[in-house]
């Protein structure tokens, strides 16, 4: 029987602690610990507005890599995350 390898991703005490961790670590360094999931996002109506968000170059590049791995474009991934966060806070 194989022992389960200890995760290098710590247990977080708060969302702020988790956010700080991911702000200073690259998720692609932990790909061997992640489980792929399929996500379907249904937008209720066509996009009517545009929002410009300024990001540091490194953050945008990391986001673009993640979006590619997920099979979506960077803008779609940003929109998915915003919608997900809004659902969590309402």
pLDDT for position 2: 61
User: In angstroms, rounded to a whole number, what is the distance separating the alpha carbons of residues 9 and 68?
Assistant: 22
Residues for the chain: how many in total?
Answer: 90
Give residue 35's pLDDT.
Answer: 87
pLDDT in tens, the chain (90 residues): 566 678 899 999 998 899 999 999 998 998 988 888 998 888 777 777 888 999 999 999 999 999 999 999 999 999 999 999 999 987
pLDDT at 1: 58
pLDDT of res. 3: 66
The domain spans of the chain are 50-90
Half-sphere exposure of 53 (CA within 13 A, CB side): 10
């Amino acid at each position: 029987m194989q022992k389960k390898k200890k995760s290098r991703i710590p247990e977080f005490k708060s969302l702020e602690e988790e956010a700080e961790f991911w702000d200073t670590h690259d998720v692609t360094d932990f790909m061997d610990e992640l489980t792929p999931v399929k996500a379907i996002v249904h937008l209720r109506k066509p996009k009517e507005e545009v929002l410009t968000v300024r990001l540091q170059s490194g953050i945008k590049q990391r986001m673009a890599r993640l979006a590619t791995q997920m099979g979506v474009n960077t803008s779609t991934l940003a929109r998915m995350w915003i919608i997900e966060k809004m659902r969590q806070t309402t």
